[in-house]
């Protein structure tokens, strides 16, 4: 069976905050996610779909040590993860937390062959599929760091899952994953060795809350860089969290402009606004610099 990539048409402009829990097997990800699910109404918990994948893959006689079969298997995993992402982000909630997110599928797709001594150029064969998968990447990742002793203790005390894959994952996968994680710029770490289950859940939930409060957009529609704006630092500006909000209206960026003595017509509801249509502006090319200068020339008239 050959799995063809689907046209997902992912629109991330209106999605909730997307977060992911990472770590080794038995590090406490599922425990923390169950705590979040039981103690909050505005955070969506997305658990792994491993049972579905097991059933699908059992229908075929794939040999992952053969490149052709491995590519087909990963197409199925990528398709599954994109569907999981779409389902979770369409639910009503301010944040979505994944028990392993899309980053896990990318890592496994690219690095698993190394664990069997292969150097396949998987990116070449799955370039399109990986491109779609990367649209599902989390905004932030929390990596649960646990010692080998803690992991083995958790594994033994888990009466639900046998974790037959644990030894392979711990010895072959984790060294590669830990090195790969060091190259990502959106990863936080939490030491979990001394955390009882409830405290672990609270620590992870507090981390989720902190992520929700952070400004997600870097630049406002008027060209102001939020991270460099002194008004933001004083007032906690959140004016550009949702790019679909009207530019003026109740937007705090308007107040920011006024605090800097920048005149404005106050009638913008989109970019380019009606007042700017007399200027030459190519939205397809995204000529941001020209747009900003035109905006300034109009607003300071």
User: In this predicted model, what pLDDT tens digit does every residue of 59-96 receive, in sequence order?
Assistant: 888 999 999 999 999 999 999 999 999 999 998 877 99
**Residue 94 confidence (pLDDT):** 78
The per-residue pLDDT for range 258-274, each reduced to its tens digit, is 665 555 554 444 444 45
With 90 as the cut, is the pLDDT of residue 231 above it? no
Mean pLDDT of the chain: 78
Angle of CA points 88, 77, 2, to nearest 5°: 125
What pLDDT band is residue 295 in, cutting at 50, 70 and 90?
low
For residue 113, the number of C-alpha atoms closer than 13 Å in the C-beta half-sphere is 17
Q: How many CB atoms lie within 10 A of CB 246?
A: 12
Segment 171-196 mean pLDDT: 95
pLDDT interval class at 287 (50, 70, 90): low
Residue 293, CA distances (Å) to 50, 218, 252, 279, 280 in order: 52, 19, 21, 11, 12
Confidence band of 276 (pLDDT split at 50, 70, 90): very low
pTM > 0.75: no
Go through 176-209 and write b for each residue having 16 or more CB atoms within 10 A of its CB, e for each that does not: bbeeebeeeeebeebebeebeeeebbbbbbebbe
Q: What is the model's pLDDT at position 15?
A: 74
Tell me the residue ranges of DSSP E strands in 24-170.
Answer: 43-46, 95-99, 140-145
The vertex-9 CA angle with 8 and 15, nearest 5°, equals: 100
pLDDT at site 282:
47
The pLDDT of residue 160: 76
SS3 content of the chain, % helix, strand, coil (to 5): 50, 10, 40
**What CATH homologous superfamily does 12-213 map to?**
P-loop containing nucleotide triphosphate hydrolases (3.40.50.300)
Could you count the other beta carbons within 10 Å of the beta carbon of residue 3?
A: 17
CATH 3.40.50.300 residue spans of the chain: 12-213
Q: What percent of the chain has pLDDT over 90?
A: 52
Asked if pLDDT for residue 131 goes beyond 90, the answer is yes
Of 98-102, 195-199, 242-246, 293-297, minimum mean pLDDT range: 242-246
Backbone angles phi, psi at 187, to 5 degrees: -115, 130
Long-range contact set of residues 89-95: C-beta below 8 Å, sequence gap at least 24 = 89/15, 89/16, 89/18, 91/44, 93/16, 93/42, 93/43, 93/44, 94/16, 94/17, 94/42, 94/43, 94/212, 95/16, 95/17, 95/18, 95/19, 95/42, 95/43, 95/44, 95/208, 95/211, 95/212
Query: How many CB atoms are closer than 10 A to CB 248?
Result: 18
| Backbone phi and psi for residue 96, each to the nearest 5 degrees, phi listed first | -120, 130
Q: Token pair 């106050």 is at which residue?
A: 266
Q: Mean pLDDT across the stretch 238-243?
A: 41
Residue 121 predicted with pLDDT over 80: yes
Mention every residue, 6+ apart, whose C-beta is less than 8 A from residue 119.
Answer: 113
């Amino acid at each position: 069976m050959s799995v063809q990539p689907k046209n997902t048409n992912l629109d991330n402009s209106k999605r909730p905050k997307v977060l992911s829990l990472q770590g080794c097997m038995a590090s406490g990800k599922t425990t923390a996610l169950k705590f979040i699910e039981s103690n909050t109404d505005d955070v969506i918990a997305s658990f792994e779909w491993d049972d579905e994948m097991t059933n699908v893959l059992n229908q075929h006689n794939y040999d992952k040590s053969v490149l052709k079969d491995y590519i087909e298997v990963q197409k199925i995993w990528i398709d599954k993860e994109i569907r999981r992402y779409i389902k979770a982000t369409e639910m009503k909630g301010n944040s979505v937390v994944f028990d392993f997110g899309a980053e896990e599928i990318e890592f496994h797709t690219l690095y698993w062959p190394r664990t069997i001594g292969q150097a396949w150029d998987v990116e070449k064969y799955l370039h399109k599929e990986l491109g779609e998968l990367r649209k599902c990447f989390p905004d932030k990742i929390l990596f649960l760091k646990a010692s080998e002793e803690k992991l083995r203790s958790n594994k033994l005390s888990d009466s639900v899952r046998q974790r037959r894959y644990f030894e392979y994952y711990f010895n072959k996968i984790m060294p590669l994953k830990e090195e790969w994680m060091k190259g990502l710029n959106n990863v936080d770490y939490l030491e979990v060795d001394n955390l009882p289950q409830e405290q672990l859940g609270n620590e992870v939930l507090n981390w989720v809350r902190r992520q929700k409060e952070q400004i997600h957009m870097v630049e406002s529609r008027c060209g102001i860089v939020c991270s460099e704006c002194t008004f933001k630092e004083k007032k906690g500006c959140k004016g550009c969290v949702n790019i679909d909000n009207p530019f003026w209206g109740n937007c705090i960026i308007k107040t920011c402009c006024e605090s800097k003595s920048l005149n404005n017509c106050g009638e913008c509801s989109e970019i380019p606004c009606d007042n700017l249509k007399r200027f030459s502006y190519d939205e397809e090319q995204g000529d941001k610099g020209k747009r900003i200068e035109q905006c300034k020339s109009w607003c300071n008239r």
